[in-house]
Amino acid sequence: MHEPHATALVLVSLGLLMSVSALFSRASGRFGVPVALLFLALGILAGSEGLGHIPFEDYGFAFRLGTVALVLILFDGGLNTPWGAVREGLGPAVVLATLGVAGTAGVVALGAHFFFGMGWPHALLVGAVVSSTDAAAVFSVLRGSGIHLQRRVGVTLELESGLNDPMAVILTLAMTEAIATGHRPGWSLLLEVPLQLAVGGACGVALGYAWRLLLNRVRLTAVGLYPVVTLGLAFLAFGLATLLHGSGFLAVYVAAVVVGNGLLPHRTGLLRVHDALAWFSQVVMFLVLGLLVLPSRLITVGWEGLGLGLLLAFVARPLVVALCLAPFRYPLREAAYVGWVGLRGAVPIILATFPVLVGVPDAAYVFNVVFFVVVVNALVPGGTVRHVTRWLRLESNTPPAPQAVLEISSMQQLNGDMASFFIGPASAVAHNAVMDVPFPPGSNLMLIVRGRELVAPRGDTQLLPGDHVYVFYRHEDEGLVKLLFGGLEEG
């Protein structure tokens, strides 16, 4: 087929797959099936052994595409992570992202060797590849499915998923090199982990603060250019940290946290753009990874994949998490929940493509086993997250986000801001008329969101528990406004 028809056919196929994937995502919440699994299934159906008969075996392209997608997903996650969450959950998350990843890899490797007869090198490789939780899976389940977790548990899971990729990458590369060259990893591996974390973290902090300054000092000619600047930060952070032998993924996440906690121009629109990019990345990434899989090969590793998937879900992850969180005195139900919701997704599959690219013996076998483990993990822990949250009584009492979102959008720095506040039963202004609220001079109540109704405030309008109110105030009056209405709403 000649151009432009060949390109048109590719775009038609891509458009149909992406549209169907997005529409099928509604079934994720309804039936409790993780959305990532639906995207993977569509990719398999479209593949060479499925209904679409699309031939695809370019592991190199899948690796690069997956890397870019993970950069966008991690950056979006970091933008939505408040400083308070970082301070609260950083210690446990760092332990889980380092010792937890290594411990999980070790337990899975033991199972692969003693239960399924894998040689130690390949058993350790499989353990390394599936050792980290996946940011795409965790963010989509905790933020995209309507689950409102208690703060500390949610923060721990999200921070862990944003921080633990470096350890899994280091272990995977070390085992791949060991199998390819026949040399065992040396003690230098112990130094490489803190070095990569330090370099990646430093790059993320430095670039994040530099971009915060840039975004607030330079006035761009169009609103649509601001997401371009933040997107450039995401790619620069990953690339620079990686070239400096640091963790690119950690740099991306840290840079996003730093920028997201600063004064972002056009914040609401910017966050929506990055949320859309993260979902787009997730859809395309899982579709492409699904295209790589041949069901006929998956069947041959069914027992290994099923066994290791169950071992990971019921033994390795819960055991390691319990040991890692013991010093932090987590209640049993919180530690059990963190141990159960260690979701795997794209990261293990992407890491499993690396041995194939290097030409490691039996790399295709490792890839298929890892893919099967990810599917089992998505079905068992992933499909039960909502029920386990309720069973362990870990749902948060945090009020839901308002049905309407307002934002002051200006190309210039202004002397005021507008923010939303939730009126709780114990709020100082609850059951008061607007005229009785002692607003600072120059501040005013702009809108009340009451359920699905928008209420234009008048002097005699009563503020009721459950209301979301939008208040305009000058920067110097922010403290007094917070004293009246409480803390700013997040999200």
**In the predicted structure, residue 415 carries a pLDDT above the cut 80:** no
* Residue 98 CA neighbour count, 13 Å, CB half: 18
Matching CATH topology for 11-391 and 416-485?
no
Number of helices (H) and strands (E), helices first, in the chain?
21, 4
pLDDT tens digits, residue range 1-10? 677 878 888 7
Q: What pLDDT is stored for residue 57 in this prediction? A: 87
Q: What pLDDT is stored for residue 28 in this prediction? A: 62
Q: CB–CB of 119/113 below 8 Å?
A: yes
Q: Bridge-partner residues for 445, per DSSP? A: 471
Q: Structural domain boundaries of the chain? A: 11-391, 416-485
Q: What pLDDT is stored for residue 88 in this prediction? A: 86
Model confidence band, residue 203 (pLDDT cutoffs 50, 70, 90): very high
pLDDT tens digits, residue range 37-68? 788 888 898 888 888 888 888 999 999 999 99
Question: Given 3.40.50.10860, 3.30.70.1450, 3.30.465.10, 1.10.730.10, which CATH number is that of 416-485?
Answer: 3.30.70.1450
Q: Which residues contact 169 (CB under 8 A, 6 or more apart)?
A: 247, 249, 351
pLDDT tens digits, residue range 479-489? 888 888 876 67
Q: Which residues contact 445 (CB under 8 A, 6 or more apart)?
A: 434, 437, 439, 457, 469, 470, 471
pLDDT tens digits, residue range 351-405? 999 999 998 999 999 999 999 999 898 888 877 888 888 899 888 776 666 666 6
Q: What is the dotted CATH code of the domain comprising 11-391? A: 1.20.1530.20
pLDDT tens digits, residue range 113-157? 999 999 999 999 999 999 998 877 777 777 655 677 888 898 899
**In the predicted structure, residue 255 carries a pLDDT above the cut 70:** yes
Q: Which residues contact 444 (CB under 8 A, 6 or more apart)?
A: 471, 472
Mean pLDDT (the chain, rounded):
87
Q: What pLDDT is stored for residue 180 in this prediction? A: 87
pLDDT tens digits, residue range 384-394? 888 888 899 88
**In the predicted structure, residue 238 carries a pLDDT above the cut 80:** yes
Q: What pLDDT is stored for residue 413 in this prediction? A: 60
Rounded average pLDDT over 80-95:
89
